[in-house]
Structure 1
């Protein structure tokens, strides 16, 4: 059994060339291309999460893609926000062999929670990685 923390799993999902990202409470993270041009990264991340995190029926927030990971267990669910991904660990799902729809719907529900009540739990920058 792999005993990595969720943060360690998430670090393994991100291409090492991207060092600037912010993680929210329900495992949604936003990658910033250049954090040095952002005046207040926490405010910007919360603004983006409030804009792109909540899911509305029939809206583009309902669209998602599931990315199967090679570097660690689990999946990433991407949506309509640039650089925004939600990590789903296999232990979060009841089905041992979930399909992309199950994974995507679960990941989308986690992103919605982060969008409705954004709470930053980790800030990663090239200075602290």
Structure 2
């Protein structure tokens, strides 16, 4: 019985992993409208509570909010470190968990994960289904976060320090 459960669990984990890899390929190779960098930056600015002034945005829409920037030597280095640690998605662990937040000041959603202060912006134009549910949005956002985690490229840094 234990061996059968172990085989089933392994199969499910492999299935989830394969589905995740397929979704990543779809994101990279899709004909879905991709946002230009300035639109992405503007939408993320509207998505973030204005009380948070220190944040770093990555190429695929994942951003990290810093509320203790005075204790950080180089925010870009810290952002990449956190992205490498909390960005990649691994089936069966907390990296696969997400929550979908509907935005009010701009179109789209924010997908949160297990990394503190880490969120991924999803624009409606990026999703094929024009009436997506929270699970579709969350999986799509999680896939974008995974891409940023595996190849972190900083797009923009917002800083309260002038």
Instruction: From 68, 77, 81, give the equivalent of 2:102.
Output: 68
1 CA distance for matches of 2:94 and 2:70?
29
Which stretches in structure 1 are left out of the alignment for 5+ residues? none
Q: Which has the higher helix share?
A: 2
Post-superposition offset of 1:12:
0.3
Partner of 2:74: 40
Q: TM-score, normalised on structure 2?
A: 0.75
3-state DSSP class of the match of 1:30? strand
3-state DSSP class of the match of 1:5? helix
Partner of 1:30: 64
Structure 1 runs of 4+ with >3 Å offset: none
2 CA distance for matches of 1:65 and 1:34?
24
Post-superposition offset of 1:127:
3.2
Q: TM-score, normalised on structure 1?
A: 0.94
Select the structure with the greater relative contact order (CA < 8 A; seq sep ≥ 6).
1
Q: Which has the higher strand share?
A: 1
Task: Tell me the number of residue pairs that the alignment of Structure 1 and Structure 2 aligns.
Answer: 125
- Structure number with larger C-alpha Rg: 2
Post-superposition offset of 1:34:
2.2
Which stretches in structure 2 are left out of the alignment for 5+ residues? 1-37
